[in-house]
Amino acid sequence: MPYFFIIDEETDFAIDVENFAKQLRASWPSVRFEDIKITNDPFLLHWSLREGEIDHVGSLHRDRRTISVDDYPKGVARFALWIRAFLPEQHKLMLYHDSSDIAVEITPKTQAEDLIVELNRG
């Protein structure tokens, strides 16, 4: 299921791509990065990883403020907490689902269990 994280639209903040990839690898050593070969691809970075029977797929968009993930609510919740910890606390992080009215702010106090319940409602 496609979800989108949007980082602080009210500032000039942008993710450092190299550091982001390095931190992904540190947290998930089995992550695989794909080469971007299409000139007009809207993404800077694609990644995937497999845990057991589940594939987790994500992309960092060229604006360096939007991240899309295609995953189940449990994986999205886990990634939401990871990205929240990765970002400086002063930057707002929103999570949206592409085909529902889900819009959740991810704060340092967000709990995975509460987020999973919210995502399953959509």
Place of tokens 């080469």: 35
The CA distance from 46 to 98, in Å, is: 18
Confidence at residue 45, expressed as pLDDT on a 0 to 100 scale: 92
Identify the band that residue 1 occupies on the pLDDT scale cut at 50, 70 and 90. Answer: low
- In this structure, are residues 57 and 83 in contact, taking their beta carbons and an 8 Å threshold? no
Tens of pLDDT, residue by residue over 49-83, are 887 777 889 999 999 999 999 888 888 999 999 99
Domain range summary for the chain, segments of one domain joined by +: 2-121
pTM: 0.89
Place of tokens 């910890």: 85
* CATH of 2-121 among 1.10.3470, 3.40.50, 3.30.310, 3.30.70: 3.30.310
Tens of pLDDT, residue by residue over 92-122, are 999 998 777 888 999 999 999 999 988 887 6
- Dihedral sign for Cα atoms in the order 121, 112, 107, 5: negative
Confidence at residue 99, expressed as pLDDT on a 0 to 100 scale: 75
- In this structure, are residues 100 and 8 in contact, taking their beta carbons and an 8 Å threshold? no
